[in-house]
Chain A
Amino acid sequence: MELLSLLTPGPTGWGDELLIGLSMTLGLALATFPVSIMLSFLIHWARSSRRRPLRYLAQMHVSIFKSLPEILTLLIIYYQSQVVISWVADYAGLDSTLSISPFLAGLIALSLVISAYGSEVVRGALQAIGKGQVEAAQALGLSRFHCFWKVVLPQFWRHALPGLGNLWVILLKDTSLVSVIALSDLTHVAALAINTTREPFFFYLVIAAIYISLVIFSSWIQKRLERRAARGFVAGGRAHA
């Protein structure tokens, strides 16, 4: 009971700070996700491109960001990008107070990491659709645009949803890492709270519970989306082809 009073909102408790932290966490994840998906497509496209340098570059992106610990990527992006921006700003004689916020650094770093995995989700989903679908479209004379838009993409979501759902959960949890560059996300707020209250177990348990709820909620949404995307695919008795 005593502990719970620490969670009340307002000036005497940490409830409101935690809420702000939660919104920061969610905001970061929500902003990063679409960027990651677009980047994933781009990387997949580059990886299957006919141009060798493009292919190598994309392959390198995937290998590097799948190998580096996220926290290291984050720190490097955070510090290095600032240095780069300062150089550029100095060189171009621009306002030298341009700066990269922890939020933006987090967004960039997490997008890089998630898209490395995302490009494989894209590839897997496109493969699952099968060559036959594209061949049928070709044989029917559909243009590449129509083939992608009307045949591939509608089926893409169905195959990609499980993978994308996974990535979303990974992303959600990885946002906790931005606490180390002092973005006031959930985990960072908890650390500050513990600094004054000296109740680490309680606060980390609260944070854990919040994350677990978020993850459970996400998979619930994911299931619903999957069911929607599966309309028409569900075998009404027989599953041929």
Chain B
Amino acid sequence: MLDLWFDYKDLWLSGLKVTASLTLLAILLGFVLALPIGVARARNRGLSGVLAYGYVIFFRGMPLLVLLFLVYYGAGEFSRDLRSLGLWWFFRDAYYCGLLALVLNTAAYQAEIIRGSLNGIPSSIREANAALNLTRWTAFRRVLFPIAIARALPGLGNEFILLLKATSLLAIITIFDLMGQARFIFSETFDLRAYYVAALHYLVLVLVLEWLLRRIERRNAWAA
């Protein structure tokens, strides 16, 4: 198997880079999008609650593969309109389309995790906030948010790993991530080992990610 890796060393390395960069970007952008949605879900009031609920239902309900096709080929169908809107530079690029699909998808999952941990904060904490006269903003910023994030960490960690795995679908829209390179090498050589080499890469990536997450979690000494 090692020979197959060295024969296509450059391809594997560039695939690794694409996979890692996509995963990291999607995690970060997804989190930024998920925060307000998760908070709106937890409050579950007014228009924002309904919108957040709709968002979550929609993007959690459909397979990522379908979302990916929808964004990529769907946007292609409307290329003329997108061009006149000045958005085509974004949708033209498979990388951006793939990233967008990943972000939309993971934000829905991350939002639910954030909602869960916000709602899971025991009412006793909120009572303490009231009894100590904290303002709503202080209470959120100094108490609810840090506790929620700490409680959400294991769930978010899982989601990050799922996301890493999900990037493999992007190969289908011409992105040469790890999976894309594996498919290419396989089509060149018809050598099944190409997939095993890819599998090893993913195993290592997940191990690294898990290790990172464990390190972050361990910083919350108080949760013990």
- Whether the complex brings A and B within 8 Å at their CB atoms is answered yes
- A179→B65 contact, CB < 8 A: yes
Chain A residues closer than 8 Å to B168, beta-carbon distance: 69, 71-72
Chain B residues closer than 8 Å to A176, beta-carbon distance: 63, 65-66
Size class of the B contact interface (CB-based, 8 Å): 35 or more
Chain A nearest CB, measured from B169 CB (Å):
6
- A174→B63 contact, CB < 8 A: yes
Indicate if B5 sits at the interface (CB-CB under 8 A): no
- A76→B195 contact, CB < 8 A: yes
Chain B residues closer than 8 Å to A208, beta-carbon distance: 61-62, 66-67, 70
Chain A residues closer than 8 Å to B196, beta-carbon distance: 76
Indicate if B139 sits at the interface (CB-CB under 8 A): no
**Contact for B60 among A66, A191, A215, CB less than 8 A:** A215
Minimal Cβ-Cβ distance residue in B for A191: B69
**B:41-82 near A, CB below 8 Å:** 57-58, 60-67, 69-70, 73-74, 76-78
- B69→A204 contact, CB < 8 A: yes
- A69→B202 contact, CB < 8 A: yes
- B65→A177 contact, CB < 8 A: yes
- B69→A71 contact, CB < 8 A: no
**Contact for B70 among A174, A177, A205, A216, CB less than 8 A:** A205
Size class of the A contact interface (CB-based, 8 Å): 20 to 34
Indicate if A200 sits at the interface (CB-CB under 8 A): yes
- A79→B58 contact, CB < 8 A: no
- A79→B61 contact, CB < 8 A: no
9 shortest interchain CB distances as A-B pairs? A212-B61, A200-B73, A69-B168, A201-B74, A67-B206, A173-B63, A176-B63, A204-B70, A208-B62
Some 11 contacts from A to B, beta carbons below 8 A apart, are A67-B207, A68-B199, A69-B165, A71-B179, A72-B195, A72-B198, A72-B202, A179-B65, A200-B76, A201-B77, A216-B57
Interface residues of B (CB under 8 A from A): 57-58, 60-67, 69-70, 73-74, 76-78, 161, 165-169, 172, 179, 182, 192, 195-196, 198-199, 202-203, 206-207
